[in-house]
A = this chain, B = another copy of it.
Amino acid sequence: MSTDIDKLIQELNPDNKKSISRLISLVETSDIENENILNKLSKKTGNAYRVGITGPPGVGKSTLTLQLTKSFINDGLKVGIVAVDPTSPFSGGALLGDRIRMNELTNSENVFIRSMATRGSMGGLSKKTIDAADILDAAGFDIIIFETVGVGQSEIQITEAADTKIVVLVPESGDSIQALKAGLMEIGDIFVLNKCDRPGSENAVLALKNMLQLRHMTIESWIPKIFKTIAAENIGIDEIKNEIFAHKEFLISHNQFLQMRKEKLLKRIKEITIDKINRILWKSELINELDEIFSQSLDNQISPYEISNKIISKIKFSGD
């Protein structure tokens, strides 16, 4: 297995879609292999620029991703896309299929598109999405785009892993309110009002501007702008692309780029660590061992906090 992985990593380059696919599948399905793969890839990562595209359902994120990708390709850049399909965290089923097919691009040599399943734990989703991005990074893609539906904490976590975060909305009443409630207003570096041939787009720009005023800003903060696009007609796309590069330039020239990446790294390490601890802690043996204690707690003899202490007492933190 390990030689197989070594070979796949050796062969890794933007043109070798089979090798990329295989590595991402391994990362998606195996908690052991993904660690092995990521350790081996680590030295090759860090070069790609990561862009997150998020927003409510139906605003045209996929179309925008498609057009932006074309624009990047025209500049001679290679683009990896990781699309996170929203499926219910409860059923594990993939009920939704309204994603725009990106057939147009899948045959291009300079593009790799991967849709991630969202089965299983929410935490695991963002971990595996970032792992997949690392594989694309190591393969040599210049730009990595995460496309997620901005409906949950997990999706926001994925978007936050990007260097530049784009929030897409449409000029409809309630849409920006929804974005505000979902916490999208505070993560966007660039705001895109798509489908702005629809009525009310000027009002929507104003409403967005007002909401952005509420954001916590310092003198060192990047000031997010609002862009109007009609992605389906390729209108306003190059402006978004230029703004992504302007944001990157800003981060670098203001010495924020490395600091930001360091913060993201720390977040990621925390997530990986807690995920591992969870796997160690909640093995069925422990659960069985605790079964009797659970019964006591159901009878309200001991509180859940006391049970938790019993569990933690089984762990030793060196340095304590």
Say yes or no for A308: interface residue by CB 8 A criterion.
Answer: yes
Q: Residue of B at shortest CB range from A185?
A: B88
CB distance from A184 to the nearest CB of B (A): 9
Q: In the complex, what residues of B have CB within 8 A of residue A278's CB?
A: 270, 274
CB-defined contacts of A270 to chain B, threshold 8 Å: 278, 281-282
Q: Out of B154, B181, B297, B314, name the residue touching A318 (CB < 8 Å).
A: B314
Q: For the complex, what is the distance from the CA of A39 to the CA of B258, rounded to whole Å? A: 45
State the number of copies, please.
2
Interface residue A102 (Cβ < 8 Å from any Cβ of B): no
For chain A, give the interface size range.
35 or more
In contact, A261 and B298 (Cβ under 8 angstroms): yes
Chain A positions 69-115 with a Cβ under 8 Å from a chain B Cβ: 86, 88-91, 93, 95-96
Contact call A90/B305, Cβ cutoff below 8 A: no
When distances are taken between beta carbons in the complex, the residues of chain B under 8 Å from A39 are 302-303, 305-306
Whether A86 and B181, one on each chain, are in contact in the complex, defined by CB atoms closer than 8 angstroms, is yes
The A contact surface, by secondary structure, is helix
Chain B residues near A286: list those with CB within 8 A. 319
* Chain B residue at smallest Cβ distance from A138: B300
Say yes or no: A298 contacts B262, CB within 8 Å. Answer: yes
Q: Which of A3-11, A17-25, A41-49, A229-237 contacts B (4 or more CB under 8 A)?
A: A41-49
Asked if A153 meets B89 with Cβ closer than 8 Å, knowing A43-B300, A273-B281, A317-B314, the reply is yes
Selected contact of A216 from candidates B86, B91, B317, B320, CB within 8 Å: B91
List of B residues within 8 angstroms of A302 by Cβ: 39, 42
Q: Take A96-B181, A181-B151, A214-B95 as given contacts and tell me if A38 and B186 are in contact as well, using a CB distance cutoff of 8 Å.
A: no
A residues with CB within 8 A of B: 35, 38-39, 41-46, 57-58, 86, 88-91, 93, 95-96, 122, 149, 151-154, 156, 174, 177-178, 180-183, 185-187, 214-216, 258, 261-262, 265-266, 268-270, 272-274, 276-278, 280-282, 285-287, 294, 297-298, 300-308, 311-312, 314-320
8 A-B Cβ contacts within 8 A? A93-B214, A152-B182, A265-B294, A268-B304, A272-B305, A273-B311, A280-B320, A286-B319
